[in-house]
């Protein structure tokens, strides 16, 4: 697995690189937004750890531009604690975020969990689910709507898969945080809302009036087969 670390704090990058290489990862590094975009395009990257505050191009813009050509998992690093910065990162396509300073063991655990979910363990297995115009290929982690391939981030696919495999079951925001992000994830319910909204925008015929991922007011979200 090749991981790209993007941060202008060279000592921090050196420390993360050392720790990840000890776990057997191949690590690439970049120190500004332009370099990060070039490497994301030119190299086969499995995951990006991306700082919010970068020279040349800021992390949010880098995240947004990467999403134009790749669904590689992205963990956003931020020294800011405001909720809006975290929500913006998720809204721009990040899969996860961590606030500096952070524990390197937690970062490694997050990376391992995301890569485990996104790794394709058997490309030949075509296990699928379909409902209405939606078709999921679980092992290839692909979603099609009306025959058109839809690009989902890792967390968006995890949500879609969970809902589709448990139609009618209502999940509270807290349930979804525990299942998709992990019980010790420091985020809040708005993280779930942002991802559900983005998922609806991609798979629903009309995101404002969803027919697949519905809201049980005061409780949570559930999937309705069509």
Is residue 184 classed exposed, middle or buried when 0-12, 13-18 and 19+ CB atoms within 10 A define those classes? exposed
pLDDT-derived band at 31 (thresholds 50, 70, 90) equals very high
Mean pLDDT of the chain: 87
pLDDT above 90 (res 10): yes
Query: What's residue 184's pLDDT?
Result: 57
- Output the pLDDT for position 124: 40
Q: Any idea which fold 2-118 has?
A: Rossmann fold (3.40.50)
The mean per-residue pLDDT over the stretch 117-134 comes to 65
- Residue 66: pLDDT band with limits 50, 70, 90: very high
128-223 matches 2-118 in CATH topology: no
Report yes or no on whether pTM surpasses 0.95: no
180 confidence band (pLDDT: 50, 70, 90): confident
Whether residue 208 has pLDDT greater than 70 = yes
Decide if pLDDT at 222 tops 50.
Answer: yes
Question: Is the model's pLDDT at 81 over the cut of 70?
Answer: no
Residue 197's nearest CA partner among 104, 106, 97, 90 is 90
For the segment 53-63, the average pLDDT, to the nearest whole number, is 92
Sequence-distant (≥ 6) Cβ neighbours of residue 224 within 8 angstroms: 167, 168, 211, 212, 213, 214
Q: What is the pLDDT of residue 214?
A: 95
pLDDT bracket for residue 216 (50, 70, 90): very high
**Burial status of residue 62 (CB atoms within 10 A of its CB: 0-12, 13-18, 19 or more):** buried
User: Residue 34: what pLDDT?
Assistant: 94
pLDDT-derived band at 122, boundaries 50, 70, 90: very low
For the chain, domain boundaries: 2-118, 128-223
Confidence check: pLDDT of 36 > 60: yes
Assess whether pLDDT exceeds 70 at residue 186. no
pLDDT for residue 121 is more than 60: no
Q: Which fold has domain 128-223?
A: Arc Repressor Mutant, subunit A (1.10.10)
């Amino acid at each position: 697995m090749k991981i790209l670390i993007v941060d202008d704090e060279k000592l921090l990058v050196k420390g993360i690189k050392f720790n990840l290489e000890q776990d057997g990862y191949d690590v690439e590094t970049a120190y500004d937004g332009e370099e990060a975009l070039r490497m994301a395009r030119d190299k086969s990257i499995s995951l990006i750890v991306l700082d919010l505050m970068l020279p040349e191009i800021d992390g949010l813009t880098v995240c947004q531009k990467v999403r134009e050509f790749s669904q590689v998992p992205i963990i956003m690093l931020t020294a800011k604690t405001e909720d809006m910065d975290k929500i913006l990162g998720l809204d721009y396509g990040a899969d996860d975020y961590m606030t500096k300073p952070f524990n390197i063991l937690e970062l490694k655990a997050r990376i391992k969990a995301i890569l485990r979910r996104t790794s394709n363990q058997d490309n030949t297995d075509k296990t699928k689910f379909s409902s209405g115009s939606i078709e999921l290929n679980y092992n290839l982690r692909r979603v099609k709507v009306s025959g058109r391939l839809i690009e989902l981030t890792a967390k968006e696919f995890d949500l879609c898969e969970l809902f589709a495999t448990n139609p009618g079951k209502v999940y509270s925001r807290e349930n979804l945080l525990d299942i998709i992000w992990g019980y010790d994830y420091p985020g809040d319910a708005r993280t779930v809302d942002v991802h559900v909204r983005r998922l609806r925008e991609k798979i629903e015929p009309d995101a404002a009036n969803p027919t697949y991922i519905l809201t049980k007011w005061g409780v949570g979200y559930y999937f309705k087969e069509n």
